[in-house]
Amino acid sequence: MANSIRKKTVKKKTVSGPKKTAKEKAPKSTIKKSVDPVLRSKPSSFNLAVRQFEKKNPIPSTQPPAYEDLGELPDAYGTKKLFLVCRDPHWAFAYWDLTWQQFQDASRGSADGKLFLQVYSDKGDRLQQIQIFDGTRNWYLHLNQPNHRFFAEIGFYLSNGKFEVICRSQTVSAPRDQIANGAQARFVTIPMNFSFGALRDLIKNHMIEGESLAEALARLQEEGFEFPFPVGKGKRLTEDQMQVLMSYLGEGDLIRRVQSGSEEITEMLKRRFKEMQSSGQWKSSEWVTSLSSPFGGGKSRDFFMHVNAELIIYGGTDPKAKVRIDGTEIKLREDGTFSYHFVLPDGKFFIPIEATSPDTVETRSAMLSFVRCSDYAGDVKKTGQPVLSEPIGRIR
């Protein structure tokens, strides 16, 4: 019975987690195995903004290349040279090379502390005297003496009145302001739509050895050569015809200066006729009416307008002083005042005025600049004026 009664064996239950797989049960290895990459069927999204970068231009170097580092150029080299050149028949230009120290030394050596630029004719006559300063490097001179020779000096006056010369320029010649006697003009038509090469190919078989293209064109046009473009028949006015035109215009000197052809002179003649007729000078002349009618005449209206301008320069100085306007000496009144009356046409005018003391030691000057640029709307005439000279110092 004892054998038949057996004790039931109670098995203890153990609490465990989820069952481990065979791989998990295997002991951990210290060697890392490579993991195959996982391939995606769709691309992953990412923000391009975070991957952008800003491109900046390189900062330029402020230092110039070594071969350009020549140092500061001096204001002057101190060569004590004076240069004079004629810009046109009426104006000259002077420039000089004097350092500030040289100016100061000369000022201390002068009787009055002043330096002067003086211009002389080739015969030794002084034409202008202008005081200059240490900051001055050049000067325009309105000599108004075409076809003359000049030279200039810079210096100062000593206590004994002698003029001490620092530097002297070469002698220069002003060009003429007139056409030379016996000058002949040749006219040639050069079309704008032909190149010089095309013109040369056109007439190369007819050119004379040593002849320029313009000369060959002029000769062939005078001989009646057939050109593939219209050729003008320019004719030179006779001396009698020129004198008649100039007497009508009253501006013969202007015609000679601008060296106009017959077409330009005709246009000037038209304008001159209109001006003189509107001013009343030829208002009742029947022959003027017949001349002006081809120039755009027609039935006039009662309404009209006319305008004009004049220029008066006035001032005063010592009654015994000498005053020059544009190099021409003018007469002073008893109290030393003066005035000069001009017409004022369109154009630019630089009019120098100088006054020299009675003892000729001191000269003071002023440069007056004027510009008139008229603009008219409609039929505006010029008001008639008394006979007045045109302002000198006109800039062509």
| Domain assignment present for 340 | yes
Determine the pLDDT at residue 190: 86
The string of pLDDT tens digits covering residues 222-265 is 888 888 888 875 555 556 655 555 555 554 444 444 444 445 55
Residues 255 and 337 in one domain: no
pLDDT in tens, 345-376: 888 888 889 999 999 889 899 988 888 888 87
The answer to whether the predicted template modeling score (pTM) of the entire model surpasses 0.75 is no
pLDDT-derived band at 281 (thresholds 50, 70, 90) equals very low
CATH of the domain at 107: 2.60.40.10
Residues 223 and 243 in one domain: no
- Does residue 102 form part of some domain? yes
| Same domain, residue pair 93 and 163 | yes
Average pLDDT over every residue of 172-178:
89
255 and 276 fall within a common domain: yes
Mark whether 312 and 341 lie in a shared domain.
yes
Q: Judge whether 337 lies within some domain.
A: yes
Last residue of a domain, one of 173, 204, 222: 173
Neighbours of 48 (CB within 10 A): 6
Confirm if 378 and 305 have CB atoms less than 8 A apart: yes
* Together in a domain, 164 and 92: yes
Q: What is the CATH number of the domain that holds 317?
A: 2.60.40
Q: Given strand 138-142, what is the order of strands in its sheet?
A: 81-86, 91-97, 138-142
- Mean local confidence (pLDDT), 86-100: 93
Residue pLDDT, tens place only, 38-53: 666 666 665 666 656 6
Query: Cβ(176)–Cβ(147) under 8 Å?
Result: yes
- Per-residue pLDDT averaged across 363-390, rounded? 82
392 pLDDT band, cuts 50/70/90, is: confident
Residues 365 and 325 in one domain: yes
| Structural domain includes residue 15 | no
Which one of 235, 261, 276 terminates a domain?
A: 235
Which of 165-174, 310-319, 383-392 shows the lowest mean pLDDT across its residues? 383-392
The β-bridge relationship of strands 394-395 and 328-330 is unpaired
The mean pLDDT value for 4-21 works out to 53
Mean pLDDT of the 30-42 span:
60
Residue 162 sits in the same domain as residue 206:
no
- How much is the pLDDT for 252? 47
Q: How confident is the model at residue 154 (pLDDT cuts 50, 70, 90)?
A: very high
31: region left, alpha or beta (phi > 0 left; psi from -120 to 50 alpha): beta
Looking at the structure, do residues 151 and 196 belong to the same domain, yes or no? no
Collapsing DSSP to helix, strand or coil, 351 comes out as strand
Q: Select from 275, 295, 315 the last residue of a domain.
A: 295
Tell me, what DSSP letter sits at residue 282? Answer: T
Per the structure, the count of domains in the chain is 4
Beta-carbon neighbour count of residue 107 at 10 Å?
15
Q: Is the pLDDT of residue 293 over 50?
A: no
Tell me what pLDDT residue 255 has.
47
pLDDT above 60: residue 282 = no
Q: Does one domain contain both 222 and 160?
A: no
- For residue 178, the model assigns a pLDDT of 78
Do 387 and 325 sit in the same domain of this protein? Answer: yes
Q: Classify residue 287: in a domain, yes or no.
A: yes
Domain range for 200 is: 186-235
Residues 106 and 163 grouped into a single domain: yes
Supply the mean pLDDT for the chain. Answer: 76
Average pLDDT over residues 210-225: 89
Q: Has residue 335 been placed in a domain?
A: yes
